[in-house]
Amino acid sequence: MLLNGSPLTFAKRLLAAAAVAATAMSAQAQDIKIGFNADQSGTGAAELGVAARHGFDLAIEDLNKAGGVLGKQLVGVVRDDTGSPPKSIQNMTELIDSEKVVAVIGPTNSGNALAWLHIPQQKKVPVIVPVATATEITRRYANDPQNFIYRISMVDREQVALLVAYAVKSSKSRKIAIIGDSTGFGQQGIKDLTEVLALHGVERAAVAKFGPKDTDMTSQLARIKESGADTLIVYGLADANAQLLRSMEKVNYFPTTLGTWGNMSTKLIEIAGPKLAEQMIFATSIAEDSNPRAAALAKRVRVRYPQMATFVSAAQAYDSVMLLAAAIKKAGTTDGAKVAETLDSGVPPTEGIVKTYTKPFTKTEHDALTVADFHLARWHNGVVTAYQDDITKSLKPADLKK
Q: Range with the lowest mean pLDDT among 74-78, 291-295, 383-387?
A: 383-387
pLDDT for the residue numbered 394: 95
**Over the stretch 126-144, which tens digit does the pLDDT of each residue have?**
999 999 988 899 999 999 9
Helices in 200-288 by DSSP H: which ranges?
A: 218-226, 238-251, 267-272, 274-277
Q: Give the Cβ contact number of residue 26 at 10 Å.
A: 9
pLDDT band at 8 (very low <50, low <70, confident <90, very high): very low
Q: d(Cα 216, Cα 329) in Å, to the nearest integer?
A: 52
**Over the stretch 226-252, which tens digit does the pLDDT of each residue have?**
999 999 999 998 999 999 999 999 999
Non-local (6+) Cβ contacts of 289 within 8 A are: 295
CATH superfamily, with its number, for domain 31-154+289-369: Response regulator (3.40.50.2300)
Q: d(Cα 341, Cα 25) in Å, to the nearest integer?
A: 31
**Over the stretch 357-381, which tens digit does the pLDDT of each residue have?**
999 999 999 999 999 889 899 998 8
User: What is the chain's mean pLDDT, rounded?
Assistant: 91
User: Is 96:118 a contact under the CB 8 Å cutoff?
Assistant: no
The structural domains of the chain, with segments of one domain joined by +, span 31-154+289-369, 157-284+375-399
Q: Is the preceding omega at residue 212 within 30 degrees of 0, hence cis?
A: no
Asked whether the predicted pLDDT for residue 20 surpasses 80, the reply is no
pLDDT band at 45 (very low <50, low <70, confident <90, very high): confident
CA nearest neighbour of 87 among 107, 101, 57: 107
Q: d(Cα 270, Cα 242) in Å, to the nearest integer?
A: 8
Q: d(Cα 345, Cα 354) in Å, to the nearest integer?
A: 21
Kindly compute the dihedral angle of the four CA atoms of residues 163, 165, 166, 171, in this order, to the nearest 10 degrees: 110
Asked whether the predicted pLDDT for residue 9 surpasses 80, the reply is no
Asked whether the predicted pLDDT for residue 25 surpasses 70, the reply is no
Asked whether the predicted pLDDT for residue 176 surpasses 70, the reply is yes
pLDDT band at 26 (very low <50, low <70, confident <90, very high): very low
Asked whether the predicted pLDDT for residue 147 surpasses 80, the reply is yes
Asked whether the predicted pLDDT for residue 12 surpasses 60, the reply is no
Query: CATH assignment of 157-284+375-399?
Result: 3.40.50.2300
pLDDT for the residue numbered 44: 74
pLDDT for the residue numbered 29: 53
pLDDT for the residue numbered 27: 43
Calculate helix-pair angle for 156-170, 184-199, nearest 10 degrees.
Answer: 50
**Over the stretch 285-326, which tens digit does the pLDDT of each residue have?**
888 878 899 999 999 999 999 888 789 999 999 999 999 999
pLDDT mean over 11-16: 45
**Over the stretch 96-130, which tens digit does the pLDDT of each residue have?**
999 999 999 999 998 899 999 999 999 999 999 99
Fold match, 31-154+289-369 / 157-284+375-399: yes
